[in-house]
Structure 1
Amino acid sequence: MTKMSANSEAENVAQALLAARAKKTPLTSYPGAMPDSLADAYAIQDHAIRLDGRQIGGWKVGRIAAELVGRYGGNRLTGPIFSDEIRDGSAGDRPVMPVFVPGFAAAEAEILLRFGAVGDGDYDADTIRDCIDEVRTGIEIASSPFAEINLHGPAVTASDYGNNKGLVLGPPIADWRDADLIRMPVAMFIDGAQVGAATMETMLDGPFGSAAFLARTLRARGIPIAPGTWVSAGAVTGVHEIRAGQTAEALFDGKIRVGCRIESL
């Protein structure tokens, strides 16, 4: 396949994914050749971002299963979170978060990091801290018109905005620079029933490692990080499928709550 035809295929897939999201049309199969690599996935994602035209307010970071790291050359993937799909739930209310029905929908308890100024340093999980100006609790909403998005490998997931459909900003962690975030207990509830509990010790090198990964990945793609950009650092307790009409709530450190209500698009 020539470079021109590869670009054309990526744009065609991006257009189809974008149309399905815009028209709320379920996809029973992937609309084109499935990407074999993260580079192919990000080519599709880049086309979709350009065609979409909305402002990006953040990026989600997801983990790639250990048995797939060798094949895909990394242990994380990313996708954009658009500003008009970011809701503030820090005051204790439960914002409405729409999902694709039918399609895939899940809620994930996550630590959210807000970038300040990001320079051209070769950041790691320690040095990226200097680029962070706020840390919050939150919930990422994962949703796609393609119900099988997570069944065909991380490149397919990454190609459709990383399977993102919004972000709920929870209360801030005021003492985050001194807090032991890695060992902070996190629990996730759907309709009041606990569906998961864990600490960030399961998250590779933790939320700051996710931020460093994002800085490196976006730089390689030629995408700048504007001050105020959020990074949803990864599912702490797992990916919890959810249905329209249900509520999701995450509990951090036994005392910080953030929740939302799920509705159909």
Structure 2
Amino acid sequence: MMKMPASEEQQKIAKAFLSARAKKTPLTLYPGAMPATMGEAYAIQDAAIGFDGRTVGGWKVGRIPAELVDRYLDNRLAGPIFTDEIFDGSAGERPAMPVYADGFAAAEAEVLLRLGDVGTRDHDIETVKDCITEVRTGIEIASSPFREINRHGPAVTASDYGNNKGLILGPAIPDWRTADLIRMPVEFFIDDASVGAATMETMLDGPFGSALFLIRVLRARGIAIPAGTWVSTGAITGIHEIRPGQRGDALFNGKIRVGCAITG
């Protein structure tokens, strides 16, 4: 993937999404020509990050459905998570997480990796672990003013910050280097009702594969990866739509819990 400078049309799309997010205005239609490739999507995303001006503290990684991989030439997508939308929920509190009530909103149980120095070398699934300083449980909040963001393919999803609206940092996973992360049971609850359960065996090459993907894509886009960057590695139990007033909780390994309260 080559880095593409944003065209005037792509800059207009980026500004339209920023305006809708700032004003909390729902978008019933995509605000321009829908991107057809991931390169076009990231051109819009990069323009929006530049116009936004906030500091990026992490990146969400999402899976591209298998039947779309050949079309979009990748199996994952990425979107920025801004530092002012990253909250600590490791002590058992439920941070209040705002979503676009008239747009799309969901919560996802994810494993979070904190990167140290990634250097300039090419990594593989084993050496990338040497770049990771911490592994935590967590919840990604997915929300966009465009309610149909996930219905038009991964490029549309990526174009609006990858459909991200925040991250909750849950408790750390102790001894993550020797733990069997891939087979760890994970369950998600909305208002105490179980809505999904799975393991990371469903996540392509797992959370470390997500880190590898992100390093590759950000380098191709000319984006620095400072030490301390969080990687939200992908939904484990599914993308669970959620509404203001509801609570979301993720349970890892039957004992590590992280939660949030959804607001409008």
TM-score (norm 2): 0.98
Aligned to 1:93: 93
Find the aligned partners of 2:212 and 2:203 in 1 and give their Cα distance.
13
Please give the alpha-carbon distance, in whole angstroms, between the structure 2 residues aligned to 1:96 and 1:117. Answer: 31
Identity of aligned residues (%): 73
Q: Which residue of 2 aligns with 1:139?
A: 139
Q: Which amino acid in 1 is paired with 2:175? A: D
Match runs of 1:63-74 below 5 Å = 63-74=63-74
Partner of 1:242: 242
- The CA distance in 2 between the partners of 1:36 and 1:153, in whole Å, is 9
What one-letter code is carried by the residue in structure 2 that aligns with 1:233? T
State the match for 1:225 in structure 2.
225
Structure 1 counterpart of 2:46, one-letter code? D
Q: Give the TM-score normalised by structure 1.
A: 0.97
Report the CA distance between 1:172 and its aligned residue. Answer: 0.3
Distance 1:60 1:169 in 2: 13
Structure 1 residues 46 and 6: alpha-carbon distance in aligned structure 2, compared to 1, 3 A threshold = closer
Opposite residue 49 of structure 1, the aligned amino acid is I
Give the superposition deviation at 1:204: 0.2
Partner of 1:172: 172
Deviation string, structure 1 residues 145-178 (Cα, Å, up to 9, x no partner): 0000000000000000000000000000121011
Q: Is 2:120 the counterpart of 1:120?
A: yes
Distance 1:83 1:192, change over 3 A: same
C-alpha deviation, 1:122, in angstroms = 1.3
Q: Secondary structure of the residue that 2:44 maps to in structure 1?
A: helix
Structure 1 distance, partners of 2:124, 2:197, is: 27
Alpha-carbon separation, structure 2, partners of 1:120 and 1:17:
33
Letter in 2 for 1:222: G
1:123·1:216 contact (CA, 8 Å) conserved in 2? no
The correspondence of residues 79-90 of structure 1 with structure 2, limited to 5 A, is 79-90=79-90
Deviations 1:197-242 (A, max 9, x none): 0000000000000000000000000001011000000000000000
Query: For the residues of structure 1 that align with 2:125 and 2:28, how far apart are their CA atoms?
Result: 39
Whether contact under 8 Å (1:45, 1:161) holds in the other structure is: yes
What residue in structure 2 maps to residue 161 of structure 1?
Answer: 161
Provide structure 2 residue ranges, at least 5 long, that are not aligned to the other structure.
Answer: none
RMSD, matched Cα: 1.1
Q: State the 4+ residue runs in structure 1 displaced beyond 6 angstroms.
A: none
Task: Give unmatched runs, 5+ long, in structure 1.
Answer: none
Distance 2:62 2:19 in 1: 24
Q: Which amino acid aligns with 2:18?
A: L
Distance change in 2, residues 1:72/1:54 (3 Å): same
Number of equivalenced pairs: 261
Matched, 1:41 2:41: yes
